[in-house]
């Protein structure tokens, strides 16, 4: 809606009145009423319609005036005309405001209906960061467009002065934020990018030119930023598309700064959130920082995506937060107490005191005794606990905090799962660098794409067409078949690497493919060197998950640095039992004597040749299996970050001689049941 449309709507109402007043007497003329009666009835109808129209028009004008009070009655004549022009320019904001109110009204009605159901529920979040927290929920108020309307009169020379001061204030703010502890290089990159835009002469020249013509400051900024945001949003590159949010964010910052600089007394939007958990539909990066500065206890954002900058910030600032939650009724939570269990990604409304205590105690016990010293077993052997990372953008802070000895498995599928398009090399470098740089002096085992089976991407050529995908064109087989995919990922890993990065090849079954893989890696290293990038041949490892590798392990042990025993697949392929099929779960057991013998063989040969054997399947996270694994000679286990410390504290309690006796007994067993009896599970 704009001002001329408003006039149009008034005109239509008047025209409607005229037409009705003319039609009704004509219809009445066909009845048997006398002319006097027709005249009186028509007169009444005409007066009624006129009064109704006047009432509707007055009401509309009153509605407009109410929302533009700050501008009302501040001048006459020429000035008044100017005011009207400015109001007209601001009406697009007004429309946004009315729409906002309408949505809020709807949300209000909705929330009353849902209120009772909501309180009994626990909601699952897909993304989580920081420590668990329990506090009152506070709904982050929307930016009220009425606040902006008061600054809408800024034009000409005054607008230029206000804009310059607003820009200076934001740049100073952004520079301060760059010193915020916990920000990593990629976060600083976002802030630098915003500073660069503000200081870019060509970008601001367009704004200055339009202001110079006497146009209103806010509508100029809206238009110019809108144009750039749209341009970014239509880019093919996902990373660039996501940057359009940074433009939008910067525009909001500018609006707020202009509002502050031009002397409005609007309240700080964030101040009331102090000590509370802010909830909103979609948190912006600048809002994350402002909310932290305002001292909020936590943040709930219903719609964040893993690679959004807001989520990256939440993770690297270690803010207590839950994001990406389905069906959480935003409008119903204000004023309620909620518990954010950031270890399990659960949100509980009005939790019981004992639930809060349980979560907090669990967190405290994990946090208080983080074991940082190297673990030495009772026989003098070193033991290393690694961390498994599935999505660095979310897990990296937690992974570092859990103080692992190394990164035992970085599953790199996350960027590809369910995607219709391939990521770019730069996007991949950005993600890999984020993790690798967080462990600058530690072994980081980066697994090549293990797509296929149940890990489906939208672009995969074979997906859905294989009868038995787990044994089909999966993992390295897929990469060898599609060298452009192999090359894309390999180049990104090599570019993001340091000396202790190890390339891990999943689902390999023999030397035929290993030779091809090795040649491909050599070629790619050479290609990068020819391009002037000093790439080195990285450490290399294989997943021990296809039984053929174990059967002839002596053929492989000398040729690789690392052997990741992937018990999840090793069990399914050795025992011919689908890891995802409940009907065969009695057959799918890592305690099968054949699996124990395989682990024993791999660990023994690795020890002889001074190589690293790492348990990286779920068996490593099953703490009941720890004494047995230690007894079988395992000295490296990789688990998800929440289990790292628990595993370390359990390892230090073990007596290695007892573990070896247990393993000896288990290896003599004939069946799963016998092994489990020996293990007492
Ligand atoms: C495994 O197979 O044990 C493993 C760690 O890999 P994934 O679970 O990703 O197949
Ligand atoms: Mg596997």
> Given pLDDT bands bounded at 50, 70 and 90, which one contains residue 669?
very high
Establish whether residue 617 lines the binding site of ligand 1, counting it when its CB lies within 6 angstroms of any ligand atom: yes
Please tell me which residue, 213 or 527, carries the higher pLDDT value.
527
Out of 26-30, 59-63, 660-664, give the one with best mean pLDDT: 660-664
Q: In this predicted model, what pLDDT tens digit does every residue of 77-99 receive, in sequence order?
A: 344 444 444 444 444 444 444 44
3-class DSSP state for residue 543?
A: strand
Distance (Å) from CA 652 to ligand 2 centroid: 28
415-428 mean pLDDT: 81
Report the distance separating Cα 457 and Cα 203, nearest Å: 39
Average pLDDT over residues 641-662: 94
Residue 288 neighbours by CB distance under 10 Å:
25
> Which of 512, 437, 505, 518 has its CA nearest to residue 476?
505
Which is it for the CA torsion 161, 164, 170, 176, positive or negative? negative
Q: Which residue has the tokens 């932290």?
A: 292
Q: Is the pLDDT of residue 344 over 90?
A: no
* Ligand 1 atom closest to Cα of residue 569: 2
- With bands split at pLDDT 50, 70 and 90, how would you rate the model's confidence at 378? very high
In the predicted model, what is the mean pLDDT of residues 399-412? Answer: 95
The predicted-structure confidence for 460-491, as pLDDT tens digits, reads as follows: 665 567 888 889 999 999 999 999 999 999 99
Tokens of 115: 């209120």
Ligand 1: residue of 413, 545, 638 to mutate (most ligand atoms within 8 A of CB) is 545
Nearest-CA residue for ligand 1 atom 8 is 568
Q: Which atom of ligand 1 is nearest to the CA of 453?
A: 10
Predicted confidence at residue 665, as pLDDT, reads: 98
Rounded to whole angstroms, the Cα distance separating 4 from 91 reads 10
Mean local confidence (pLDDT), 113-140 = 77
- Placement of tokens 């006047």 in the chain: 54
* Whether the CB of 411 sits within 6 Å of ligand 1: yes
Q: Each residue of 129-152: pLDDT tens digit?
A: 889 999 999 999 876 543 455 456
Report the separation in Å between the CA atom of 259 and the middle of ligand 2, taken as the mean of its atom positions. 55
Atom of ligand 1 lying closest to residue 619 CA: 3
Q: What is the pLDDT of residue 488?
A: 97
If you average pLDDT over residues 506-521, what whole number do you get? 98
Q: What pLDDT score was predicted for residue 206?
A: 79
User: Are 307 and 394 in contact, with CB atoms under 8 Å apart?
Assistant: no
- Please report the DSSP string for 632-670 in residue order: TT--EEEEEHHHHHHHHHHHHH--HHHHHHHHHHHHH--
User: What's the rounded mean pLDDT across residues 7-17?
Assistant: 56
Whole-number pLDDT of residue 65: 47
Give me the pLDDT at residue 663, please: 98
At residue 476, the pLDDT reads 97
- Ligand 1 atom nearest to CA at 564: 5
616 CB near ligand 1 (under 6 Å): yes
Which residue lies with its CA nearest to atom 7 of ligand 1?
Answer: 568
567 lines ligand 1 (CB under 6 A): yes
- Give the mean model confidence (pLDDT) for residues 622-635: 97
**Local confidence band at 219 (pLDDT 50, 70, 90 cut-offs):** confident
What is the number of the ligand closest to the CA of 409?
A: 1
- DSSP code string of 45-85: HHHHHHHHHHHHHHHHHHHHHHHTGGGTTS--HHHHHHHHH
pLDDT for the residue numbered 55? 72
- Among the ranges given (22-26, 209-213, 307-311, 525-529), the one the predictor scored with the smallest mean pLDDT: 307-311
Residues 498-520 have a mean pLDDT of 98
Asked if residue 338 lies in contact with residue 347, where contact means CB atoms within 8 angstroms, the answer is yes
Q: Quote the DSSP letter at residue 324.
A: E
pLDDT given at position 515: 98
Name the pairing type of β-strands 382-389 and 375-376: antiparallel
Separation of 618 CA from ligand 1 center, angstroms? 8
Q: What is the pLDDT of residue 130?
A: 85
What's the CA-to-centroid distance between 456 and ligand 1, angstroms? Answer: 15
Q: What is the mean pLDDT of residues 212-239?
A: 76
545 Cβ closer than 6 Å to some ligand 1 atom: yes
Structure tokens at 50: 């006129």
Of residues 295 and 86, more confidence is placed in 295
pLDDT for the residue 419: 65
pLDDT above 90 coverage of the chain, percent:
45
The rounded distance, in Å, linking the Cα atoms of 658 and 628 is: 10
The residue with greater pLDDT, 102 or 55, is 55
Q: Mean pLDDT in the chain?
A: 82
Low-confidence winner among 206-215, 228-237, 420-429 (lowest mean pLDDT): 228-237
Instruction: Say how many Å lie between the CA of residue 656 and the centre of ligand 2.
Output: 29
| Residue from 543, 598, 625, 638 whose mutation best tests the ligand 1 pocket (most atoms within 8 A of CB) | 543
Establish whether residue 450 lines the binding site of ligand 1, counting it when its CB lies within 6 angstroms of any ligand atom: yes
Find the radius of gyration of the CA atoms of the chain: 33
More confident residue, 352 or 208: 352
Average pLDDT over residues 171-185: 72
Provide the residues around ligand 2 (an ion) whose CB is within 5 A.
545, 566, 569
* pLDDT average, residue stretch 412-430: 83
Predicted TM-score (pTM) above 0.85:
no
Q: What is the pLDDT of residue 398?
A: 84
Binning pLDDT at 50, 70 and 90, where does residue 653 land? Answer: very high
Ligand 2 mean position, distance from CA 432 (Å)? 20
Q: What is the pLDDT of residue 676?
A: 97
Q: What is the pLDDT averaged over residues 498-527? A: 98
pLDDT of residue 169: 83
Say which residue, 442 or 262, is predicted with more confidence.
Answer: 442
Span from the CA of 575 to the centroid of ligand 2 (angstroms)? 14
The DSSP bridge pattern shows strands 562-565 and 539-544 to be parallel
Picking from 235, 407, 238, the residue whose alpha carbon sits closest to that of residue 306 is 238
pLDDT of residue 266: 45
CA-nearest residue for atom 4, ligand 1, is 566
Indicate whether residue 590 lines ligand 1 (CB < 6 A): no
- Residue 386 Cβ inside 6 Å of ligand 1? The answer reads no
Span 567-590, pLDDT tens digits: 999 999 999 999 878 789 899 999
Average confidence (pLDDT) over 156-177? 81
């Amino acid at each position: 809606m704009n001002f001329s449309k408003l006039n149009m709507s008034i005109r239509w109402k008047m025209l409607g009145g005229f037409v009705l007043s003319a039609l009704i007497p004509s219809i009445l003329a066909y009845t048997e009423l006398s002319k006097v009666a027709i005249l009186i009835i028509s007169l009444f109808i005409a007066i009624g319609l006129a009064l109704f129209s006047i009432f509707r028009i007055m009401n509309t004008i009153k509605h407009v005036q109410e929302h533009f009070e700050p501008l009302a009655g501040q001048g006459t004549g020429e000035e008044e005309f100017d005011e009207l022009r400015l109001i007209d320019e601001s009406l697009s904001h007004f429309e946004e405001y009315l729409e906002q109110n309408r949505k809020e009204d709807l949300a209000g009605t909705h929330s009353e209906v849902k209120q009772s159901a909501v309180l009994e529920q626990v909601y699952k979040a897909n993304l989580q960061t920081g420590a668990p927290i329990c506090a009152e929920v506070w709904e982050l108020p929307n930016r009220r467009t009425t606040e902006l309307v008061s600054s809408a009169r800024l034009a000409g020379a005054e607008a230029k002065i206000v804009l310059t001061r607003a820009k200076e204030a934001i740049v100073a703010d952004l520079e301060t934020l760059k010193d915020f502890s916990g920000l990593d290089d990629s976060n600083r990159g976002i802030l630098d990018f915003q500073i660069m835009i503000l200081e870019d002469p060509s970008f601001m020249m367009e704004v200055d030119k339009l202001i110079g013509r006497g146009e209103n400051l806010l509508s100029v900024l809206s238009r110019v930023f809108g144009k750039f945001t749209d341009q970014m949003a239509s880019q093919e590159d996902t990373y660039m598309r996501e940057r359009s949010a940074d433009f939008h964010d910067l525009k909001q910052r500018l609006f707020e700064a202009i509002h502050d600089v031009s002397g409005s007394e609007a309240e700080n939007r964030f101040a009331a959130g102090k000590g509370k958990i802010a909830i909103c539909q979609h948190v912006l990066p600048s809002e994350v920082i402002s909310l932290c500065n305002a001292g909020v206890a936590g943040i709930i954002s219903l719609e964040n995506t893993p690679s959004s900058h807001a989520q990256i910030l939440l993770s690297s600032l270690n803010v207590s937060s839950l994001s990406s939650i389905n069906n959480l009724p935003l409008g119903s939570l204000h004023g309620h107490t909620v518990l954010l269990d950031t270890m399990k990604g659960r949100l509980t409304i009005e939790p019981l005191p004992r639930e809060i205590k349980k979560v907090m105690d669990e967190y405290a016990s994990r946090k208080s005794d983080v074991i940082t010293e190297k673990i030495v077993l009772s026989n003098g052997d070193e033991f290393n606990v690694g961390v498994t990372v599935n999505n660095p953008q979310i897990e990296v802070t937690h992974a570092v905090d859990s103080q692992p000895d190394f990164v035992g498995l970085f599953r790199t599928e996350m960027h590809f799962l369910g995607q219709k398009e391939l990521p770019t090399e730069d996007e991949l470098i950005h993600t890999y660098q984020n993790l690798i740089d967080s462990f600058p002096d530690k072994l980081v085992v980066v697994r090549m794409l293990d797509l296929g089976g149940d890990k489906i991407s939208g672009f995969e050529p074979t997906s859905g067409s294989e009868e038995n995908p787990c044994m089909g064109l999966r993992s390295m087989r897929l990469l060898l078949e599609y060298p452009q995919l192999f090359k894309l990922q390999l180049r990104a890993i090599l570019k993001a690497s340091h000396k202790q990065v190890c390339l891990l090849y999943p689902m390999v079954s023999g030397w035929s493919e290993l030779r091809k893989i090795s040649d491909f890696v050599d070629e790619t290293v050479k290609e990068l060197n020819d391009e002037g990038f000093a790439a080195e041949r990285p450490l290399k490892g294989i997943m021990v998950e296809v039984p053929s590798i174990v059967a002839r392990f002596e053929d492989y042990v000398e040729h690789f640095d690392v052997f990741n025993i992937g018990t999840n697949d090793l069990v399914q392929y050795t025992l011919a039992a689908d890891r995802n099929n409940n009907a065969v779960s009695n057959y799918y057991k890592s305690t099968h004597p054949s699996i124990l013998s395989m682990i024993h063989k791999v660990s023994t040969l690795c020890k002889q040749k001074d190589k690293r054997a790492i348990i990286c399947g779920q068996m490593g996270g099953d703490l009941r299996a720890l004494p047995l694994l230690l007894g079988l000679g395992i000295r490296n286990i990789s688990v998800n970050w929440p289990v790292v410390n628990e595993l370390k504290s359990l390892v230090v309690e073990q007596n290695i001689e007892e573990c070896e006796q247990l393993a000896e007994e288990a290896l003599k067993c004939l069946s799963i049941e016998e092994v489990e009896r020996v293990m007492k599970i």
